[in-house]
Copies of this chain bind each other. A is one copy, B any other.
Amino acid sequence: MPTGPALLTDRYELTMLAAALADGTADRDCVFEVFARRLPHGRRYGVVAGTGRLLEQLPRFRFTDDDLAALREQGLTDARLLDWLAGFSFNGDVDGYAEGDFFFPGSPVLTVRASFAEGVLLETLILSVLNHDSAIASAAARMVAAACERPCIEMGSRRTHEQAAVAAARAAHLVGFGTTSNLEAGHRYGVPTAGTSAHAFTLLHDDEAAAFRAQVATLGVGTTLLVDTYDVERGIRTAVEVAGPDLGAIRLDSGDLPTLATRARQLLDELGATRTKIIVTSDLDEFAISGLMAAPVDGYGVGTSLVTGSGAPTAGMVYKLVERDGVPVAKRSEGKNSVGGRKHAVRRHDASGTATAEVVSSRPIAPQDGDRQLVVELVRGGQLCDDAPPRAALAAARAHHQRARAAMPDEAWALSRGECAIETVHD
């Protein structure tokens, strides 16, 4: 396994760097901007996530002797390039939206000011981290909204790359998921972990009662018993017989969940287990969660749709050179026009504190009452402005998301396809 992130990079960043070092343009002052041209079809908002993970990795973005040997083996043998890389550490500035904030088309989510050489090297890693984590956070935020105040449990590790799973658990917690199944996310980021048992545990035993007894003996009556291995009604009766009326919860993982949950609630109440909760899982997404709002459900476990961004597995952010030696630049060929120049951004709010517009401009924006500056300093001269450890950074981002969320208009929470919750105004 690699020790640093330097090779998690597209080859063309290095061929461009080699050519720019040769013709003297590598030192030109550049501004690169990360933004999304559009949101996934019909989404009302996006959520910025990954910034903390990116800043964790930035100080380790160095080319070791092993890395340089790997480049040579791949034919990247230009001596000037390799010398430069051997001495590289990032010395530029990075500004960006606070992690957990919302973004809209054209929001300048991250801005890198550095020499071309330093800025171009970071492109791939920056986009990988932000595109993945923001996609997950954006989908997760819709699920949290659909669940209203009911708790959401992230349990999608098995449906995505084993390291992406850790980042997904982090992104879900950032926007309000209470817990994750992923132990590494618990360790690295302090996300509370949850989990009790699977069907295999019941099948391991001679019968369901034996499995439930074993689980309760070790995990206590507050545990969650999975009651749908054989027959749900019998499973619930057995669960209450074994654990008593103080059983913490039952879990339903198959079948028509609204119907099953309603019947389960009735049966639990009949059996005196009136405080036993009902947790549902089984291919939930924000629409299924919403469809269970009237059902007596106490928590949602979400897997596949969470870690795959619920139909939008990448956030579509790009990293564009917008300024060179103080001059705005932009690609001009058809279909992908960009606005040149370094950006300012504020979120405008009405008198009640509700967001009304995302104002983005290449000039300083005349302040109005209720404006919130969206761009914060992240890195100065290669040094992190806030070197909070990973757990504290995530906690801060989670709190920031809650504040930003409280100011969003109600239209944001509609699950149907529609317009962005607020308009991006290019001032």
A→B interface (CB under 8 Å): 1-3, 5, 7-16, 18-20, 22-23, 25, 28, 30, 32, 70-71, 73-74, 78, 116, 120, 123-125, 127-129, 131-133, 155, 157-167, 181-184, 186-188, 193-201, 203-205, 210, 213-215, 217-219, 228-232, 253-255, 304, 307-309, 313-314, 316, 319-321, 324, 329-336
Q: Is the CB of A15 within 8 A of B218?
A: yes
Chain B residues lying within 8 Å of A9, measured Cβ to Cβ, are 157, 182-184
Given contacts A195-B12, A200-B321, contact A205 B25 (CB under 8 A): yes
Given contacts A15-B195, A19-B201, contact A124 B157 (CB under 8 A): yes
Q: Is the CB of B19 within 8 A of A214?
A: yes
Q: Which of B22, B161, B196 contacts A132 (CB 8 A)?
A: B161
Given contacts A10-B195, A183-B10, A195-B11, contact A161 B159 (CB under 8 A): no
Q: Is the CB of A22 within 8 A of B199?
A: no
Q: Is the CB of A184 within 8 A of B127?
A: no
Q: Report the minimum CB–CB distance from A17 to chain B (whole Å).
A: 9
Q: Which of B128, B194, B304 contacts A162 (CB 8 A)?
A: B128
Oligomer: number of copies: 2
Q: Is the CB of A131 within 8 A of B158?
A: yes
Chain B residues lying within 8 Å of A2, measured Cβ to Cβ, are 184, 187-188
Q: Is the CB of B218 within 8 A of A78?
A: yes
Q: Is the CB of B331 within 8 A of A197?
A: no
Chain B residues lying within 8 Å of A254, measured Cβ to Cβ, are 333-336
Cβ-closest chain B residue relative to A197 = B16
Chain B residues lying within 8 Å of A195, measured Cβ to Cβ, are 10-15
Given contacts A7-B184, A19-B218, contact A128 B157 (CB under 8 A): yes
| CB<8 Å pairs between A and B, sample of 18 | A5-B162, A7-B183, A11-B182, A11-B193, A15-B197, A19-B217, A22-B217, A23-B218, A70-B187, A124-B162, A129-B161, A160-B161, A200-B321, A203-B329, A228-B333, A230-B333, A231-B332, A308-B314
Cβ-closest chain B residue relative to A219 = B15
Given contacts A129-B162, A203-B321, A204-B28, contact A23 B214 (CB under 8 A): yes
Chain B residues lying within 8 Å of A1, measured Cβ to Cβ, are 1, 3
Given A11-B181, A199-B331, 19 other A-B residues pairs in contact with their CB atoms under 8 A: A7-B187, A10-B195, A11-B186, A15-B218, A18-B219, A19-B201, A19-B219, A25-B204, A28-B204, A73-B186, A120-B201, A128-B162, A128-B165, A159-B314, A163-B164, A199-B321, A304-B316, A307-B314, A313-B313
Chain B residues lying within 8 Å of A228, measured Cβ to Cβ, are 333
- Once bound together, how far apart are the Cα atoms of A219 and B162, in whole Å? 37
Q: Is the CB of A182 within 8 A of B70?
A: no
Q: Is the CB of A8 within 8 A of B194?
A: no
Cβ-closest chain B residue relative to A81 = B218
Chain B residues lying within 8 Å of A253, measured Cβ to Cβ, are 336
Q: Is the CB of A20 within 8 A of B201?
A: yes
- Once bound together, how far apart are the Cα atoms of A1 and B57, in whole Å? 10
Q: Which of B132, B157, B159, B229 contacts A331 (CB 8 A)?
A: B229
Cβ-closest chain B residue relative to A22 = B218
Question: Which of A30, A217, A319, A331 has the most CB atoms of chain B within a 10 A radius of its CB?
Answer: A331
Q: Is the CB of A164 within 8 A of B160?
A: yes
Q: Report the minimum CB–CB distance from A211 to chain B (whole Å).
A: 8
- Once bound together, how far apart are the Cα atoms of A215 and B25, in whole Å? 12
Chain B residues lying within 8 Å of A120, measured Cβ to Cβ, are 200-201
Given contacts A78-B218, A203-B324, contact A186 B307 (CB under 8 A): no
